[in-house]
């Protein structure tokens, strides 16, 4: 049965949805997506009793506690990147020379014809198949055993697991990509010399949610190889593997293709985890961690603003990066202080004593000197309850000590709303919160402590006013 409305949901659908999430997403994403659908279903008035019971069950998946991801020290990051570049450069030089030689298999006059014959058959079949090719293989690698000869010939044309890992690490060091994105990366398209396009997708998002193709430009850096040069090396070093797969009827546009020792055919994507532990080219004492790589790129890492992420996902990245968290906390403290300073500078409310102002004119958090004559409309005021925060900017308003408990209660309500509302809280309440904080700060510590004892009784009516509900 097709679901066209939330009322069509059954416990079976909810369980199937949870099973789908568990098989496709990480724990944090599972918890986030499942919580959202539960929140929606709980608000369906016509939901069945069985569905209500299902939504009340505790999910077995909870977000893992956030742990800090430590950045690489600058010297260690550079050493790892340079080691990966040297490994790829060596492999690229070997493979491009062998690939070019494999095209001369018909030219018996060529000085290296026997090796060309071997490479040609390895490119097409994975190993020599003809008698002529087998004899050429035995002649070219006479000191080795049969399997070693085949592996040595393949080694000339294809990246090994360790070399493929070096290419992956180099791209990670330069582009700061997720490992899943690198794994599925396609061969880049070259628009013109020095301008390449990478159409990258996160597997869980798919091409439909591609934000924008990655345009990689040649920065003509005189010190380091440019990103364009790195991409060209990777594409050229993996081209023989893609050609071999195409000749076998398995065409692919995947960027990363390599042929591990002992494998019957080339593999695609990022080499398996165990390769990272034993790769000989990795500097001693360095462990490859792609999450650390992404955050260690100079001038990159966790950005100040969300980039192709929701605000919630970006916050998760910030909270797991000690350096980014410190920067964001400092920026947040500075921003809060600026808002408070601005609020204090704009506070125009008069401070009066209780006996000076008629209690019959008390609105929720201020006293009004003339409720029948609003300064802006010259009519009776209608903002005293549902629009009580607007009173903070009114020329008729004055603060009195007897309303301090309500003002403190209003601050508590606004602060409780902040986490649930996200960015919309800033737009709706940030200015009022800053002004109200400045007003409350004008009272002494003793006055605020005394007023705090009466706060709880005022919370329900303030919540009702913000929700535009009649007071109880």
Q: Are residues 138 and 264 in the same domain?
A: yes
Strands (E), 393-447: 397-399
Q: Are residues 92 and 164 in the same domain?
A: yes
Residues pairing with 397 in the sheet: 368
Residue 420 falls within a domain, yes or no?
A: yes
Residue 170 falls within a domain, yes or no?
A: yes
Residue 160: how many other CB atoms lie within 10 Å: 20
Q: How confident is the model at residue 224, as a pLDDT?
A: 46
Q: Are residues 203 and 95 in the same domain?
A: yes
CB 53 within 8 A of CB 14: no
Q: How confident is the model at residue 159, as a pLDDT?
A: 93
Residue 97 falls within a domain, yes or no?
A: yes
Q: Are residues 35 and 93 in the same domain?
A: no
Residue 24 falls within a domain, yes or no?
A: yes
Residue 346 falls within a domain, yes or no?
A: yes
pLDDT digits (tens), the chain, 472 positions? 455 566 677 888 888 888 777 766 666 677 778 888 888 777 777 777 777 777 777 655 555 566 677 888 889 988 999 999 999 999 999 999 989 988 876 666 666 777 888 888 888 888 888 787 777 777 777 777 778 888 888 898 999 999 999 999 998 887 777 777 888 888 888 877 777 787 776 655 555 555 455 666 655 554 444 777 888 899 999 999 999 999 999 999 999 999 998 888 999 988 887 787 788 898 988 888 888 888 777 766 555 555 555 666 666 666 666 676 777 777 777 777 776 666 555 555 677 777 777 778 888 888 888 888 888 788 888 777 777 888 887 878 888 888 889 889 888 888 888 877 767 787 788 888 888 888 888 888 888 889 888 888 888 888 888 877 777 6
- Say which residue the tokens 């008729």 belong to: 396
- Name the pairing type of β-strands 189-192 and 397-399: unpaired
Closest CA to 433 of 420, 417, 456, 457: 417
Residue 392's domain comprises 340-466
Q: Are residues 43 and 108 in the same domain?
A: no
Q: How confident is the model at residue 92, as a pLDDT?
A: 95
Q: Are residues 378 and 423 in the same domain?
A: yes
Q: Are residues 273 and 374 in the same domain?
A: no
Residues pairing with 270 in the sheet: none
Domain count, the chain: 3
The four Cα atoms 271, 277, 279, 281 give a dihedral, to 10 degrees, of 120
- Residue 173, helix vs strand vs coil: helix
Among residues 254, 278, 301, the one where a domain terminates is 301
Q: How confident is the model at residue 25, as a pLDDT?
A: 65
Q: How confident is the model at residue 86, as a pLDDT?
A: 93
Residue 61 falls within a domain, yes or no?
A: no
Q: How confident is the model at residue 297, as a pLDDT?
A: 77
Q: Are residues 361 and 421 in the same domain?
A: yes
Q: Are residues 114 and 182 in the same domain?
A: yes
CB 218 within 8 A of CB 226: yes
Among residues 272, 301, 330, the one where a domain terminates is 301
**Global confidence as pTM:** 0.57
Q: Are residues 203 and 116 in the same domain?
A: yes
Residue 65 falls within a domain, yes or no?
A: no
Among residues 301, 324, 354, the one where a domain terminates is 301
Residue 329 falls within a domain, yes or no?
A: no
Q: Are residues 107 and 168 in the same domain?
A: yes
Q: Are residues 111 and 249 in the same domain?
A: yes
């Amino acid at each position: 049965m097709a679901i066209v409305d939330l009322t069509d949901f059954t416990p079976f659908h909810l369980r199937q949805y949870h099973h789908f999430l568990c098989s496709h997403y990480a724990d944090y994403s599972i918890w986030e997506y499942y919580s959202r659908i539960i929140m929606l279903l709980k608000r369906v008035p016509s939901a069945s009793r069985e569905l209500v019971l299902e939504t009340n069950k505790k999910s077995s998946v909870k977000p893992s506690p956030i742990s800090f991801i430590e950045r690489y020290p600058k010297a260690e990051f550079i050493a790892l990147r340079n080691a990966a570049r040297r490994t790829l450069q060596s492999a690229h030089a070997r493979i491009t020379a062998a690939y070019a030689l494999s095209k001369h298999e018909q030219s018996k006059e060529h000085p290296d014809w026997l090796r060309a014959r071997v490479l040609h058959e390895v490119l097409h079949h994975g190993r020599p198949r003809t008698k002529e090719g087998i004899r050429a293989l035995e002649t070219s690698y006479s000191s080795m055993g049969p399997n070693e000869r085949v592996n040595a010939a393949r080694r000339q044309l294809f990246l090994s697991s360790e070399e493929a890992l070096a290419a992956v690490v180099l791209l990670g060091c330069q582009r700061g990509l997720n490992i899943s994105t690198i794994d599925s990366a396609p061969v880049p398209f070259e628009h013109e010399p020095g301008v390449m396009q990478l159409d990258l997708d996160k597997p869980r998002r798919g091409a439909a949610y591609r934000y924008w193709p990655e345009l990689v430009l040649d920065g003509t850096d005189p010190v380091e190889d440019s990103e364009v040069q790195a991409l060209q090396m990777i594409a050229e070093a993996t081209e023989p593997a893609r050609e071999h797969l195409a000749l076998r009827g398995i065409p692919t546009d995947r960027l990363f293709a390599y042929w591990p020792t002992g494998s019957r055919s080339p593999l695609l994507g990022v080499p398996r985890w165990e390769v990272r532990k034993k790769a000989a080219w990795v500097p001693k004492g360095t462990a490859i961690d792609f999450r650390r790589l992404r955050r260690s790129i100079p001038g990159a890492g966790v950005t100040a603003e969300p980039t192709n992420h929701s605000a919630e996902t970006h916050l998760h990245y910030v909270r797991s990066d000690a350096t980014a968290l410190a920067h964001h906390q400092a920026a947040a403290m500075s921003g809060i202080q600026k808002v408070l300073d601005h609020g204090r500078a704009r506070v125009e409310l008069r401070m009066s004593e209780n006996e000076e102002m008629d209690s019959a004119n008390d609105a929720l958090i201020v006293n009004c000197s003339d409720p029948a004559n609003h300064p802006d409309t010259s009519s009776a005021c209608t903002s005293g309850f549902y629009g009580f925060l607007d009173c903070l900017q009114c020329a008729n308003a004055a603060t009195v000590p007897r309303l301090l408990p309500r003002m403190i209660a209003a601050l508590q309500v606004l602060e409780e709303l902040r986490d649930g509302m996200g960015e919309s809280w800033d737009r709706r309440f940030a200015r009022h919160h800053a002004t109200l904080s400045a007003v409350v700060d004008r009272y002494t510590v003793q006055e605020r402590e005394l007023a705090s004892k009466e706060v709880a009784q005022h919370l329900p009516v303030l919540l009702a006013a913000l929700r535009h509900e009649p007071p109880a």
